[in-house]
């Protein structure tokens, strides 16, 4: 029997709760699908930072490297630790060390979920560059606290980085409906974004079977609201993709349904799977966090590991549960209720 080694990083706030829910579901589906999961729980979080001064141990990357995948809950507790520390101390180092350059987030309405738009028939896959661009961390501050203070943040775009994320997007479009939307702001950012547009056109000649359209970020935001059904695969830089995927979560009914994968497409290092919703410290003690995004993310993990049938079973169970109105309204059902319903729907 094939056994997959999974690193579990529950994190902060509601992270442990939704991670436990997702783990129950993937363990249940594994038992009936001919493979096994071996989970290693790692207590890396803001609490660890307060104890040790680090979000993860010095050998954290080496520890993770020995696993087949990483399932993350949520990281961050701004009242305790600034987000700039928690993000740069855990998530970004993992993404960069393991070359998880493709962040993918599916956006569609689950059965029984009412989104805020009049449109409902949309199925968008957002592909976000995940390791460079605006989040490269290049820059600095001088004369801090004085009237002459200067802050510089430099976006880094490499041909290798831009080409590989666009190529990944083109490949996804080929598997779906054959349409790719490339997002920039090249009318204002005449170096990095013009460069991105040029690489898009170059690759478009290779993928003649894919319909390519280039949008500015503001126009894409409007299109996701006004005509989301016209979109298939959307590819964007680290910052633009980050913004658009929160908009995507909104139109699919909220962050409780927003799943994501941080992929190393060449599979030489572990990929990481996480819900988009964050740690939500204000409701962490209430037991009402929606675990669907975490369960959906865990399904994406199984699909990446090659267990496509098991992944499809989980998505089918989620859809049957939401079609009955369970987990579709924030706070209406407890985390445990939704989890039990998904487990029952697997059978």
User: How many Å apart are CA 140 and CA 308, to the nearest integer?
Assistant: 44
Name the active-site residue from 83, 218, 282, 309. Answer: 218
Instruction: Using DSSP bridges, classify how beta strands 123-129 and 102-108 pair: parallel, antiparallel or unpaired.
Output: antiparallel
179 is catalytic: no
Q: 218 an active-site residue?
A: yes
Look up tokens 């980085």; give the residue.
161
In the chain, where do the E strands start and end?
2-11, 35-41, 69-74, 102-108, 123-129, 133-142, 150-156, 179-184, 211-216, 233-236, 259-263, 271-275
* 4, 135, 207, 215: the active-site residue: 135
Q: Is there a catalytic annotation at residue 83? A: no
Neighbours of 193 (CB within 10 A): 22
Active site residue 135: yes
DSSP letter assigned to residue 72: E
Of the residues 101, 185, 207, 303, which is catalytic?
185
Query: Using an 8 Å Cβ cutoff, are 273 and 25 in contact?
Result: no
Q: Can 101 be counted among the known catalytic residues?
A: no
Q: What phi, psi does 77 have (nearest 5°)?
A: -155, 80
Whether residue 326 contacts residue 347, with contact meaning beta carbons closer than 8 Å, is answered with no
Q: Exactly one of 20, 68, 232, 242 is catalytic; which is it? A: 242
Cα separation, 118 vs 220, in Å, equals 18
The two tokens of residue 266 are 């060449």
47, 123, 197, 246: the active-site residue:
246
Q: Is 158 helix (H, G, I), strand (E, B) or coil?
A: coil
Catalytically active residues are 135, 185, 218, 242, 246
């Amino acid at each position: 029997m094939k056994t997959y080694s999974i690193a579990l990083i529950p994190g902060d706030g509601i992270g442990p709760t939704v991670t436990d829910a997702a783990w129950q579901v993937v363990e249940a589906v594994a038992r009936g699908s001919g493979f096994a999961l071996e989970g290693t729980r790692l207590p890396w979080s803001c609490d660890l930072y307060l104890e040790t001064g680090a979000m993860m141990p010095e050998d954290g990357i080496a520890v993770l490297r020995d696993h087949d995948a990483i399932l993350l809950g949520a990281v961050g507790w701004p009242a305790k630790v600034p987000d700039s520390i928690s993000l740069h101390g855990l998530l970004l180092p993992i993404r960069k060390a393991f070359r998880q350059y493709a962040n993918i987030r599916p956006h569609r309405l689950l059965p029984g979920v009412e989104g805020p738009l009049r449109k409902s028939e949309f199925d968008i896959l957002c592909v976000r560059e995940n390791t460079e661009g605006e989040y490269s961390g290049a820059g600095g501050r001088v004369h801090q606290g004085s009237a002459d203070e200067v802050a510089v943040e430099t976006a880094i775009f490499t041909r290798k980085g831009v080409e590989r994320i666009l190529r990944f997007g083109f490949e996804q479009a080929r598997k779906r409906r054959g349409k790719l939307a490339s997002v920039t702001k090249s009318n204002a950012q005449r170096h990095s974004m013009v460069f991105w547009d040029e690489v898009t056109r170059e690759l478009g000649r290779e993928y003649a079977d894919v319909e390519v359209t280039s949008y500015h970020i503001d126009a894409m935001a409007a299109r996701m609201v006004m005509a989301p059904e016209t979109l298939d695969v959307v590819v964007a830089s680290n910052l633009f993709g980050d913004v658009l995927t929160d908009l995507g979560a909104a139109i699919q009914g909220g962050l409780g349904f927003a799943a994501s994968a941080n992929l190393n497409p060449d599979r030489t290092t572990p990929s990481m799977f996480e819900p988009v919703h964050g740690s939500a410290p204000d409701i962490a003690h209430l037991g009402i966090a929606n675990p669907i995004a975490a369960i959906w993310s865990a399904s994406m993990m199984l699909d990446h590991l090659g267990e496509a049938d098991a992944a499809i079973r989980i998505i089918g169970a989620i859809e049957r549960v939401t079609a009955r109105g369970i987990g579709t309204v924030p706070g209406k059902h407890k985390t445990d209720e939704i989890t039990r319903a998904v487990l029952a729907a697997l059978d």
